[in-house]
Structures are given as C-alpha cells and as structure tokens.
Structure 1
Amino acid sequence: MLQNKVALITGGTKGIGYGIAKCLMDQGVHVAITSRSSARSHEIAGKLNASSKAGAKAIGLKADVTDFKSQQDAVKDVVSQFGQLDVVIANAGVGHFASIEDITLQQWQDTIDTNLTGAFYTIKASVDALKNSQGYYISISSLAGTNFFANGSAYNASKFGVTGFTQAVMLDLRKYGIKVSTIMPGSVSTHFNGNEPDASDAWKIQSEDIGELVVDLLKMNPRTLPSKIEVRPTTPPSK
C-alpha cells in the first residue's frame, strides 16, 4: 500500500523525525530528511539506507524551516529526485523554557519561528505537490499544545499555534483530497532540549512509536481522518 510513496520529513536526523523515517522506510516509502547541516543530513540518510529492508531509499537535504525559500527548494529537490511527494511531516522543533521574566527575546523568536512559522512554511511550500498526489500533511505538535505549564510561555504558544494552525489547514485542504493531521505526543524519549536518552526513559513514548502511528494514519481508509491525535505514555512514574 505504501510501497514507493515519497515522504519529506523536516528535522529527520534524530528523535521523532528519525523514528518516523525508519518506520516509513520499513514500509517501502522513500524518504527525504532535512537538517540545517548538510553533513548531518547526508550522514543519517546513509545510515537509513544501510538498514533499508524494503527497497526504500533515503536522501539527506540541507534545509532550514525558518527560511521559506529553503523549504521550497527542499520540495523541488524531492520532486526532482523521486518524481512525486506524497507525505510531508512537519517535525522540526526547538524548546526554550523559562519564566516570562527570564526568557529572552531571541529565545521567544527562535521558538515561534522554528515550531510555528516552520510548520507554516513547510505546508505552504508543499501544497501544490500534495495536490498532485492527493497526499498527507502531518504536523508534530505536543500535549503542550493543549496543556499549559509554568516556564512554558514560548513553547506553549508555539504548540498551541501548531495545533490550531494544522486543524485550520485540514479544513482548507480536504477539498483537494489532501489529508491533514496533527500528532500531539506527551513525554518522548529523544535528545530534545539536551536530553540524553537512557534506561530511565524507558517509560516514555519511543520515537518509533510515533513512526508506527504515522504508518497507521497513512494506511487508514481514505474516507476516515483522525485529524488530531493525543498520545501519552501508558504508565508515567508516580509523583
């Protein structure tokens, strides 16, 4: 069903993005992963290709989600190399956490530009390609996009924005046969915000769990659209 489909994943060199890329390739989906580092994107694409079991190919692209032309160029590169674009995953994100008294103007701007404007640029640059394929756009939001917390003003604002933005895009694009969903994970075992995953993170959602969820969405009957999916660890540690 997914064999030879083509996916573009922003921030695909680690964490959730990498987990999604790996699961899609296991289904025969060709993937393009982006990073602000050309060397990093090519390195991880090579790693994905080395473990490919279903004939799928990965390519690495240098692209910055805060730069619209960069996103346009990434989409053009994908279509040029694979001939189509079926799935777009807006995954790239950052987190700066501090009280409103302490968060800097630059930290605020970086969070909004990457997490929210980056999601806008990603879909804006790929709408025409997704119209051609009647494809699927998925944003990676967060439970922080519905649950606010202290020291989270910038991150909460960005993820509340991503959630609302994606739901509005869903209404805009479904008339073209494009499916749009946002996934809102809770605690995920990744390198996000300087974390080093280890055995103590075993209770958390794993990146491949999000990858499996994306596969499930892509395989769902076209008549049905889970437009907003909240995902939590089954058993968080007791407080």
Structure 2
Amino acid sequence: MRDLTGVVAYITGGSKGIGFGVAKKLLDSGMKVAISGRNKTSLEAATKQLGAGPNILALLSDVTNLENEQNAIAQILEKWGKLDVVVANAGVGHFAPIDELSETNWHQMIDTNLTGAFHTLKASVEALKISKGYFITIASLAGTNFFPMGAGYNATKFGVVGFTQAAMLDLRKYDIKVSTIMPGSVATHFNNNEPSPKDAWKIQPEDIGQLVNDLLNMHPRTLPSKIEVRPSRPDKK
C-alpha cells in the first residue's frame, strides 16, 4: 500500500457529488487536495464540510476557460510546490430529443465536459511531467452506451473517453499515468436529482473516491486505463 501522505491532488467540480466524494477519500488518505468550481458559496460550504484545515484549498475556476485553469494550477504550485494527481470531474448534462436540444445546451455540455477536460490537462501537464503524476477523467457509461435524448451528453462522454485514451498514449512516455473512470448511476445532484435514501442502490460518490485511491495504489508497472463501474444490482421498482 502506497503512503499517500503529502501527495497533492486537484479535483475539478469538487464542491459536491463525485468530486466531493473523491476529495474526501483522498483527504482521509493524508493527501493535500485542491477543489475547484464556479460557485464561491458552494466551495466554501464544501471546504467547511471536508474540514481538512491546511490540507484543503478551494479555487474558483470555470473549466471552460483555459486561463482560469492555468491560474488554478499556479495557485496550487504556489501553495504546495508540486502537483501529483489531477481529477477532471466537472460536468453538466442536458437531455432532450436531438430535434429539441438547444444550441446553448449543446455548447454548454461540449465546453464543460469535453473542452473542460482538455483545458484541465493542458494547464496541468507540465507539472505532471515533473512529478510523474496521474491524470484521471470522470467519464460515464454514457461514453460507450448511447440512449434516447442523450445525443449531446453521449457525444461529450464518448469524446472524453477517446480523449483520455489517446492522451494516455501520448503521455506515458513521460511516466504520466492516465485513466478514465466510467460510472453508471451515482447518487449525486446530477440532472436535478436530490440524493435521498431511495438512491441507496446507486454507486455512492465515496465509492468513486475509493476507485481513485485504488488507482493511486496500483503498482507502477500496471495501468488500468479504462474502468467501467456500475451498481451491483439495478433499482427495484
């Protein structure tokens, strides 16, 4: 088991949902964690709830803006001097038949889910080359399974999977590991869901945090580059 004490991570979309679950698990492992988001109030609430003192850093950043992400990475390096792990988690979803999907919603998904992952990697890659670090995207089973009313969302998640796998081939020569995690149903606020006991059958955010922790503990010779994860049993309706 690798000692993760002092390892520095950056998680986009870290104020709630999967990002929050990953942040909590990594903090519990002794890591230093920066979380980012677009909402200052949500970030402050998440930081208070995580309660990790000097090991947590909240950063305002919109992943659709490369300069925002560059500034976020600069603040991490200024505070902790290095960056070891990046989790590109920020994402949005709008679901409608393709003839009803608005151009605004299409671009918001493309810009956040796909271009956002590119911006996060572009901003962090030089730091990861120095640390021989790890870049992880949070994709979705929607990145291999298409469904009605999901044309825009499917397009972004298929794109994230392809982007991550190609980036893995580009970056492993620098000893940077790259993986994508593709969850099924997760108990989060995604798509206006309000987590409640009825979501007990779903993957929990901390389960994805455990997966990230397990990846960081994998022997250096081994790279699980694409991980599909789903609830053990479907919802009993």
- TM superposition score normalised by structure 1: 0.96
Secondary structure, counterpart of 1:205 in structure 2:
coil
Deviation at 1:238, TM superposition (A): 4.8
Query: Which residue of 2 is the match for residue 161 of structure 1?
Result: 159
Query: Which residue of 2 is the match for residue 123 of structure 1?
Result: 121
Query: Which residue of 2 is the match for residue 185 of structure 1?
Result: 183
Paired with 1:39 and 1:85, the residues of 2 have a C-alpha distance of 25
Paired with 1:177 and 1:76, the residues of 2 have a C-alpha distance of 22
Paired with 2:40 and 2:130, the residues of 1 have a C-alpha distance of 28
The answer to whether the 8 Å contact 1:26/1:56 transfers is: no
Query: Which residue of 2 is the match for residue 42 of structure 1?
Result: 44
Structure 2 residue 95 is the aligned partner of structure 1 residue 97: yes
Identity over aligned residues, as a percent?
A: 61
In structure 1, stretches of 5+ residues that fail to align are none
Secondary structure, counterpart of 2:172 in structure 1:
helix
In structure 2, stretches of 5+ residues that fail to align are none
**Cα distance change, pair 176–198 in 1 and its aligned pair in 2 (3 A):** same
For 1:186, the aligned partner's letter is: G
For 1:167, the aligned partner's letter is: Q
Paired with 1:209 and 1:197, the residues of 2 have a C-alpha distance of 15
- The 5-angstrom pairing of residues 46-57 of structure 1 reads 46-49=48-51, 52=52, 57=55
**Cα distance change, pair 237–38 in 1 and its aligned pair in 2 (3 A):** closer
- The 5-angstrom pairing of residues 214-229 of structure 1 reads 214-229=212-227
Query: Which residue of 2 is the match for residue 33 of structure 1?
Result: 35
Query: Which residue of 2 is the match for residue 199 of structure 1?
Result: 197
Across the aligned residues of Structure 1 and Structure 2, the Cα RMSD in angstroms comes to: 1.1
1:66 to 64, 67, 72: 64
For 2:232, the aligned partner's letter is: T
Structure 2 residue 140 is the aligned partner of structure 1 residue 138: no
Secondary structure, counterpart of 1:139 in structure 2:
strand
Deviation at 1:217, TM superposition (A): 0.2
Deviation at 1:34, TM superposition (A): 0.4
Structure 2 residue 82 is the aligned partner of structure 1 residue 84: yes
Deviation at 1:230, TM superposition (A): 0.1
Deviation at 1:37, TM superposition (A): 1.7
1:91-147 Cα deviation digits (max 9, x unpaired): 000000000111100000001000000000000100000011000000000000000
Query: Which residue of 2 is the match for residue 23 of structure 1?
Result: 25
Deviation at 1:41, TM superposition (A): 1.6
Equivalent pairs counted in the alignment come to 235
Deviation at 1:172, TM superposition (A): 0.4
Deviation at 1:237, TM superposition (A): 2.2
Paired with 1:70 and 1:64, the residues of 2 have a C-alpha distance of 6
Query: Which residue of 2 is the match for residue 147 of structure 1?
Result: 145
Kindly report structure 1 stretches of 4+ aligned residues shifted beyond 2 Å.
none
For 2:216, the aligned partner's letter is: L
Deviation at 1:39, TM superposition (A): 3.1
Query: Which residue of 2 is the match for residue 176 of structure 1?
Result: 174
